[in-house]
């Protein structure tokens, strides 16, 4: 193991300054060290998208990202996009339209979809499907997820 | 309330009810097992066998034990008690004893202070194996073998279960038949691919208790197995089911790692977490069995079914799991939704040295129904009868009994046929679309809750629900039913709210915890809506009666003149005379404090007297008719399914949002099996144990799905409901297969139907000189 290094970044809008071994994976930093368990560990191989977070507003698989690579950047997790009270319009659409069943993939979808809607506020259904293609869901068959993202794009 | 009346009006039920825990899930605040941390928690890891079949000659764990930071190393001999989900086929151990039976079998368990130390400990374990011949194909195990995988195999073979059934006289019926078709189906194994990996935390405490948190669909069966194997009385074990990230049957066995993790906790006196990686999950499998079946169907000149003659050879993998049930289901679930007057079946499930197969969504019905529905499509072709007409001619009527004595109460199968035919524009499309473009029909039949509990001792209801309400007016709902994403918590809450007339937000569905949750047998066999729903309704009605009685004291009117309205109990036809829900509650509490109510469900006696008669009996059955449209790229063999019309009879759909979700999710999973999912083996070695190599369909591959919920209320279902969790998967597979036939004139009897098979099929058709739609 190499010597721990100082890691400074912005996490959910707040500065973070921690000591972190160079091999620490961002997902482990979030879940194990910082107890931000909203980001899910589905495969640890970059195949499922459950661990998606935003780094500088772009979706990133935190299980494939070294924590140090987020140094100086802005990291946003599901905790960072959830309002202090209530839900965001995107989250509310997921609930109301049945886009979450077991819920394990949901935080990842919210992060990916949020990033999409920020870049492209009114995407077509095809664009939505392409954007979330890296996020696996085994419960919903995706229909209601695409519905929810579409509905949120109309609210925004 | 008359449950069977289609006109019954509800405040919540029958609508679209968002999940009660939805806000927690979309914000990452729902707590899954891996989100739980306990102080001093150790990391549990498993060592797996590199051999498919071998004797364990010796195990040396001394070096591993001596490593700093290693708290325990366990091998099989400490807890050799065999267990399994079915009490009649206990053949698993928490950790292998003497013998390993597949690549991935657990041979040792380690608890250490961190992952790295645990991995080092595993690497330091020395095991000497004596490699045995491996049996990776069920055909290798149907006769006597040199080294049977289990001693319980039939007469020195690897046959785990053989079922032979004959009803009526098949040979006589075949003699009088005018039409006859045979389909020999071949099916790869597929697996659940739930997103949350298997994970367990166990903690033993100085008060002599063991607490286990686990990603399970069957907390009660886990509770029993822990007790049996660890030798602790059940009351000293507490099983908690946090949120579960999908199951689909893959979390419906008590699993060895759950017991091994608990054993490590007992050994160390510290909490231990065992989290699986994806390879672990794939090796644990318990997915749908690789199967070969041989289906022969005979009809008279008009197409009336005279007989089914069926054989199935089922690849069980290393353990029994639910296999005895699987073997029966491959026969008995082949018949409905049709009347079959003569039926013969021989099914064999054979152990192989591969990861165990088990229960997966629409367990036992999926593969056999693919072959049957393919055969019926072929019969329509032979008879020159429309596929819908052929099925309608043979439909089981409501309130009938099948040849094997299944009791059919409600069936809206014919309504499903009519809806799917009309909405899909079938008559204008079937055999009329251009070459490469086709439409096909597939139909389903599935149990709405296994009538037989897996355990018969002690005799008890299949589900019990407790309600507790105190002065704050919130209603705590307790039940061990396992919500794994299907929405059963929401349904339970909605039923209570409906009966009491109160707002849904008053419901607190309490997390499954064996210390406080009354037993429900778990999420399998599509039993929860039916059984938990009835139990919940009874509990809620009992609570309602207490409140109405209190309202009677307050208003001076007799209870029978009172009715429950929204958060209020008032005199019928005099809404101005009444009391609020809270006033009635507080009155009712005057003498004894918090109110308690209980409800339970036991299915009625049913089924024949012969051996195996109970297999497949259920208090109700679901039915479905799906039409799928396919478009084939005739150059590459790739195809897509742009649209599916899914007509389904789940009785009264109590939460349309959830039922649609089940149908759409089932179509996704079924499409995966028909279009590409496959557990690929070289010999006994699984080649694709990751979600990259085992591909589930992407959003772009999903069809537009039109759900047609046409079921009439079931007479015994809660408010008329039946299952919608598993049956909805079945019909999509044959609908796609039959649509491919309509598109390109090729019959596919081997799944998955990959593009190379499509191209080969078209080539073979052309080589045989057969043209289709002019091509």
Residue from B28, B114, B280 whose CB has the most chain A CBs within 10 Å, to mutate:
B28
> How many structural domains are present in chain A?
2
Whether residue A72 is found in the same domain as residue A118 = no
Q: How far apart are CA A102 and CA B25, in angstroms?
A: 8
**E strands, B650-726, in order:** 681-682, 685-686, 704-709
Query: Mutate which of A63, A86, A139, A145 to disrupt the B interface (most B C-beta within 10 Å)?
Result: A139
Is the ipTM beyond the 0.95 threshold?
Answer: yes
Q: Do B23 and A110 touch (CB under 8 A)?
A: no
Q: What is the rounded average pLDDT for all residues in chain B? A: 97
Residue B762 reports pLDDT greater than 70: yes
What whole-number distance in Å separates Cα of residue A102 and Cα of residue B479? 18
* Contact flag A141-B18 (C-beta cutoff 8 Å): no
B residues 3-22 closer than 8 Å to A (CB) = 16, 18-19, 21-22
Q: Is the pLDDT of residue B719 over 70?
A: yes
In this predicted structure, the answer to whether residue B431 has a pLDDT above a threshold of 90 is: yes
Res. B4 pLDDT band, cuts 50 70 90:
low
Average pLDDT in the B559-571 region? Answer: 97
Query: How far is the alpha carbon of B658 from chain A, nearest alpha carbon, in Å?
Result: 7
The CATH architecture of the domain made up of B33-132+196-284 is Alpha-Beta Complex (3.90)
- Is the Cβ of B275 closer than 8 Å to some Cβ of chain A? yes
Distance CA B305, CA B367 (A): 20
A125 CB near a chain B CB, below 8 Å? Answer: no
Q: Please indicate, yes or no, whether residues A19 and A52 belong to a single structural domain of this protein.
A: yes
In terms of domains, do A60 and A95 share one?
A: no
Inform me whether the pLDDT recorded for B216 exceeds 80. yes
- Among A44, A77, A136, whose Cβ lies nearest the Cβ of B696? A136
Å from B690 to nearest chain A CA?
Answer: 8
Q: Do A141 and B26 touch (CB under 8 A)?
A: no
Judge if A73 and A127 occupy the same domain.
no
Mutate to test the interface with B, among A143, A144, A150 (most CBs of B within 10 A): A143
| Burial zone of B548 (CB within 10 Å; 0-12 exposed, 13-18 middle, 19+ buried) | buried
- Cα separation, B357 vs B189, in Å, equals 8
Looking at residue B87, what is its pLDDT? 92
Residues of B in contact with A132 (CB under 8 A): 699
CA distance A68 to chain B (A): 20
In this prediction, residues B369-376 reach a mean pLDDT of 98
Whether chain A has a CB inside 8 Å of the CB on B505: the answer is: no
Q: Structural domain of residue A11, as residue ranges?
A: 5-80
Residues of chain A contacting B691 with CB distance shorter than 8 Å: 43, 45, 47-48, 136
Please check whether residues A76 and A98 belong to one and the same domain.
Answer: no
- A132 inside 8 A of chain B by CB: yes
- Say if the Cβ atoms of A102 and B23 lie within 8 Å: no
Which pLDDT score, from 0 to 100, does residue B662 have?
A: 98
For B170-179, what is the mean pLDDT?
A: 96
Q: What average pLDDT does the segment A133-149 reach?
A: 97
Whether the pLDDT of residue B3 is over 60: the answer is: no
A87, A128, A129 member nearest B26 (Cβ): A87
The pLDDT score that the predictor gives to residue B9 is 87
B585-612 mean pLDDT: 96
Q: Does A136 touch chain B (CB under 8 A)?
A: yes
How far is residue B246's CA from residue B198's CA, in Å, rounded to a whole number? 10
**Residue B705: CA count within 13 A, CB half-sphere:** 30
| Confidence (pLDDT) at A156 | 62
C-beta atoms of A106 and B666 within 8 A: no
User: Strands (DSSP E) along B448-561, which ranges?
Assistant: 463-469, 475-478, 507-509, 512-513
Whether A2 contacts chain B with CB within 8 A: no
DSSP H stretches of helix in B676-731 = 727-730
Domain CATH number, residue A43: 3.10.20.30
Cβ–Cβ contact B696 with A under 8 A: yes
Residue A50 near chain B (CB below 8 Å): yes
pLDDT higher than 70, residue B2: no
Q: Do B657 and A140 touch (CB under 8 A)?
A: no
pLDDT digit string, tens, across residues B504-521: 999 999 999 999 999 999
Q: Tell me the shortest Cα–Cα distance from A115 to chain B, in angstroms.
A: 15
What is the per-residue pLDDT across A1-52, written as a single tens digit (0 to 9) for each?
Answer: 557 799 999 999 999 999 999 999 999 999 999 999 999 999 999 999 999 9
The C-alpha of B322 sits at a distance from chain A's nearest C-alpha, in angstroms, of 23
What part of B 699-728 touches A (C-beta under 8 Å)?
Answer: 699-700, 702, 704-705
Nearest CA in chain B to A146: B699
CB < 8 Å to A97, chain B: 657
Task: Check A43 against B661: CB less than 8 A apart.
Answer: no
Q: Which pLDDT band, with edges at 50, 70 and 90, does B539 fall under? A: very high
Given this model, what pLDDT does residue B452 score?
Answer: 86
B25 contact residues in A (CB cutoff 8 A) = 95, 100, 102-103, 106
Specify whether A50 is located in the same domain as A96. no
| Whole-angstrom distance, CA of residue A60 vs CA of residue A58 | 6
Contacts made by residues A6-12, CB under 8 angstroms, sequence distance 24+: A7/A67, A7/A68, A7/A70, A7/A71, A8/A71, A8/A72, A9/A70, A9/A71, A9/A72, A9/A73, A9/A74, A9/A75, A10/A73, A10/A74, A10/A75, A11/A75, A11/A76, A11/A77, A11/A80, A12/A75, A12/A76, A12/A77, A12/A79, A12/A80
Domain formed by B291-452+609-767, architecture: 2-Layer Sandwich (3.30)
CATH 3.30.365.10 is right for the domain spanning B22-30+461-601: yes
Percentage of chain B beyond pLDDT 70 is 99
Over the stretch B632-661, which tens digit does the pLDDT of each residue have? 999 999 999 999 999 999 999 999 999 999
Q: Which residue of B has its CA nearest to A46?
A: B692
Whether B22-30+461-601 shares its CATH topology with B291-452+609-767 is answered yes
Locate the chain B residue with the closest alpha carbon to A39.
B28
**Residue B300 contacts A, CB cutoff 8 Å:** no
Give the pLDDT band of residue B5 (cuts 50, 70, 90): low
Question: Chain A contact for B667, CB < 8 A?
Answer: yes
Q: Which residues contact A10 (CB under 8 A, 6 or more apart)?
A: A16, A73, A74, A75
Q: For residue A116, what is the domain's CATH number? A: 1.10.150.120
pLDDT higher than threshold 50 for residue B1:
no
Contacts of B280 in chain A (CB under 8 A): none
Average pLDDT value for residue range A58-82: 98
Token reading at B675: 């279009």
């Amino acid at each position: 193991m190499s010597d721990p290094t100082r890691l400074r970044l912005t996490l959910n809008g707040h500065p973070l300054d921690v000591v972190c071994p160079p091999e620490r994976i961002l997902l482990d930093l979030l879940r194990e060290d910082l107890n931000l368990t909203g980001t899910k560990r589905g495969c640890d191989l970059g195949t499922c998208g459950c661990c998606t977070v935003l780094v500088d507003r772009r979706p990133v698989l935190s299980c494939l990202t070294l924590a140090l690579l987020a140094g100086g950047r802005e990291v946003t997790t599901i905790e960072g996009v959830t309002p202090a009270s209530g839900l965001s319009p995107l989250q509310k659409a997921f609930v109301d339209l049945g886009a979450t069943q077991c819920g394990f993939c949901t935080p990842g979808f919210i992060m990916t979809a949020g990033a999409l809607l920020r870049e492209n506020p009114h995407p077509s259904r095809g664009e939505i499907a392409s954007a979330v293609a890296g996020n696996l869901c085994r419960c919903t068959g995706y229909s209601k997820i695409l519905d929810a993202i579409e509905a949120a794009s109309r609210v925004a | 309330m008359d449950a069977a009346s289609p006109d019954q009006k509800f405040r919540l039920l029958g609508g679209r009810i968002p999940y009660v825990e939805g806000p927690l899930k979309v914000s990452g605040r729902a707590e899954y097992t891996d989100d739980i941390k306990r102080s001093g928690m150790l990391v549990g890891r498993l060592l797996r066998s590199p051999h498919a079949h071998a004797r364990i000659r010796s195990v040396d764990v001394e070096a591993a034990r001596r490593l700093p930071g290693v708290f325990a190393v366990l091998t099989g001999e400490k807890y050799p008690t065999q267990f399994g989900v079915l009490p009649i086929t206990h053949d698993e151990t928490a950790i292998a004893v003497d013998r390993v039976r597949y690549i991935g079998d657990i041979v040792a368990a380690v608890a250490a202070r961190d992952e790295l130390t645990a991995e080092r400990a595993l690497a330091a374990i020395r095991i000497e194996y004596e490699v045995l011949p491996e049996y990776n194909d069920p055909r290798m195990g149907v006769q006597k073998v040199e080294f049977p995988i289990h001693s319980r195999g039939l007469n020195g073979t690897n046959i785990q279960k053989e079922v032979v059934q004959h009803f009526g006289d098949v040979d006589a019926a075949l003699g009088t038949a005018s039409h006859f078709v045979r389909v020999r189906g071949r099916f790869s194994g597929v697996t659940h691919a739930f997103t949350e990996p298997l994970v367990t935390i166990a903690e033993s405490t100085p008060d002599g208790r063991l607490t286990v948190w686990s990603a399970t669909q069957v907390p009660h069966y886990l509770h029993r197995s822990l007790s049996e194997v660890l030798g602790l009385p059940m009351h000293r074990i507490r099983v908690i089911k946090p949120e579960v990230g999908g199951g689909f049957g893959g979390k419906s066995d008590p699993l060895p790692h759950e017991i091994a993790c608990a054993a490590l906790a007992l050994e160390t006196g510290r909490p231990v977490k065992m989290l699986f990686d994806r390879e672990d999950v794939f090796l644990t499998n318990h997915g749908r069995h690789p199967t070969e079946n041989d289906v022969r169907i005979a009809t008279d000149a008009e197409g009336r079914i005279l007989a089914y003659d069926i054989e199935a050879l089922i690849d069980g993998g290393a353990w029994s799991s639910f296999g005895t049930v699987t073997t029966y289901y491959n026969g008995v679930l082949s018949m409905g939704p049709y009347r079959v007057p003569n039926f013969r079946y021989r099914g064999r499930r054979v152990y192989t040295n591969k990861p165990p197969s088990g229960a997966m969504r629409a367990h036992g019905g999926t593969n056999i129904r693919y072959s049957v529905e393919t055969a019926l499509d072929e019969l329509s072709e032979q008879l020159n009868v429309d596929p819908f007409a052929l099925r309608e001619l043979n439909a089981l009527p409501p309130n009938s009994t099948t040849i094997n004595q299944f009791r059919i109460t409600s069936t809206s199968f014919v309504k499903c046929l009519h809806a799917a035919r009309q909405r899909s524009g079938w008559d204008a499309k079937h055999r009329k679309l251009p070459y490469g473009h086709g439409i096909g029909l597939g139909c389903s039949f599935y149990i709405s809750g296994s009538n037989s509990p897996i355990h018969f001792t002690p005799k008890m209801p299949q589900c019990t629900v407790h309600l507790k309400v105190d002065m704050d007016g919130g209603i705590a709902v307790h039940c061990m039913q396992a919500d794994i994403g299907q929405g059963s918590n929401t349904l339970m809450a909605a039923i209570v709210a409906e009966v009491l007339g109160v707002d849904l937000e008053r419901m607190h569905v309490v997390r499954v915890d064996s210390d406080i949750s009354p037993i429900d047998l778990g999420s399998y066999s599509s039993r929860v809506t039916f059984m938990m729903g009835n139990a919940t309704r009874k509990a809620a009605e009992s609570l309602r009666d207490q409140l109405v009685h209190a309202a009677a004291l307050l208003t001076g009117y007799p209870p029978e003149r009172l009715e429950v309205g929204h958060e209020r109990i008032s005199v019928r036809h005099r809404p101005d005379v009444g009391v609020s829900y809270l006033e009635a509650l507080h009155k009712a509490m005057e003498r004894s404090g918090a109110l308690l109510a209980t409800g339970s469900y036991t299915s009625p006696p049913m089924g024949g007297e012969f051996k195996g008669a109970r297999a497949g009996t259920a208090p109700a059955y679901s039915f479905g008719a799906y039409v799928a449209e396919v478009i084939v790229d005739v150059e590459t063999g790739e195809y897509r399914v742009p649209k599916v019309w899914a007509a389904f009879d789940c009785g009264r759909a109590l939460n349309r949002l959830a039922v649609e979700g089940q149908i759409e999710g089932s179509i996704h999973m079924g499409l995966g099996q028909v279009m590409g999912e496959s557990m690929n083996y070289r010999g006994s070695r699984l080649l694709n144990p990751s979600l990259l190599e085992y591909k589930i369909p992407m959003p772009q591959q999903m069809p537009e799905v039109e759900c047609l919920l046409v079921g009439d209320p079931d007479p015994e279902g809660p408010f008329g409901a039946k299952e919608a969790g598993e049956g909805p998967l079945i019909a999509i597979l044959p609908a796609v297969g039959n649509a491919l036939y309509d598109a390109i004139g090729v019959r596919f009897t081997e799944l998955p139907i990959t593009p190379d098979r499509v191209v080969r099929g078209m080539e073979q058709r052309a080589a045989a000189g057969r043209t289709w739609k002019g091509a």
